[in-house]
Each structure stands twice: as structure tokens, then as C-alpha cells.
């Protein structure tokens, strides 16, 4: 087996930025990005502790990363199997469910953090 020569650091960054550009074409990623941008903006507008701000930022990037992973695996599955396959559909459903779990946990924690900052809790 022949090993591929490692890429240069600039080439690795180019590939990473191309991946970000590709996912920016996805509607679901743009929705998550908008929600995350709103949450991070609010985290700096409202009086929150540094810890709460870090949690909001971390959750935002975790959700975006989960969405990117979901998109990457879906592209791979579509490449491997062009026709509809019930097993591939199940894998895609599980991936979407994983993104939903990340998103719901971020939403619940965000409601708790912002609710306390606004005096609702």
C-alpha cells in the first residue's frame, strides 16, 4: 500500500476553508449559523458571566460542527449509493437526530442561561 504524502499547512487550511464554504451552501447549516450568531451576540449584549458566555460559544460551535459532520456523511452516502436505499435513509435519519439532540441541548441550556440573565428564573 502506498502512503499519500502529507499536505503542506497552507494546503490543509485551503481544504478546510473549502469545506466551510461548501457547508455554507446548506440551508440547515445557515439556519444553525444564524441561531448561533444571535445567541453569541446576545451573550455579549446581556450581562452574563464569562463562564456563561464560554458555554454559549462552545454550544454554538458544537452544533455547527455536528451539522458539518452530518452534511459530510450525507454527501458520502449519496456518493456511495445513488438510488434510494432504506438502510442509508436510516443512517441519514440517525445523523439528523444527532444534530437535533445537540441543537435541543443548546436550546435548553441557552434558555436557562438567558432566562436567568433576564430575570425569568
* CATH for 44: 1.10.287.3610
Domain encompassing residue 85: 27-117
Domain count of the fold of the chain: 1
Catalytic residues: 67
14 found inside a domain: no
pLDDT of the residue at 121: 85
pLDDT of the residue at 6: 84
Which residue ranges are tagged as binding site for substrate?
5, 53, 67
pTM: 0.89
Which residue ranges are tagged as binding site for a divalent metal cation?
26, 74
Average pLDDT in the 69-77 region? 97
pLDDT over 70 (residue 64): yes
81 found inside a domain: yes
Range with lowest mean pLDDT among 1-5, 30-34, 55-59, 78-82: 1-5
CA distance 84 to 112: 41
109 found inside a domain: yes
pLDDT bracket for residue 67 (50, 70, 90): very high
CA distance 50 to 70: 30
CA dihedral of 103, 118, 56, 95, whole degrees rounded to 10: 0
4 found inside a domain: no
Amino acid at each position: 500500500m502506498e502512503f499519500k504524502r502529507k499536505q503542506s499547512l497552507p494546503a490543509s487550511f485551503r481544504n478546510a476553508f473549502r469545506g466551510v464554504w461548501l457547508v455554507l451552501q446548506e440551508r440547515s447549516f445557515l439556519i444553525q449559523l444564524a441561531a448561533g450568531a444571535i445567541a453569541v451576540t446576545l451573550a455579549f449584549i446581556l450581562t452574563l458571566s464569562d463562564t456563561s458566555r464560554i458555554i454559549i460559544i462552545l454550544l454554538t460551535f458544537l452544533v455547527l460542527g455536528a451539522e458539518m459532520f452530518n452534511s459530510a456523511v450525507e454527501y458520502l452516502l449519496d456518493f456511495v449509493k445513488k438510488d434510494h436505499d432504506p438502510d442509508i435513509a436510516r443512517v441519514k435519519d440517525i445523523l439528523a437526530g444527532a444534530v437535533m439532540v445537540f441543537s435541543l441541548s443548546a436550546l435548553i441550556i441557552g434558555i436557562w442561561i438567558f432566562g436567568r440573565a433576564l430575570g425569568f428564573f
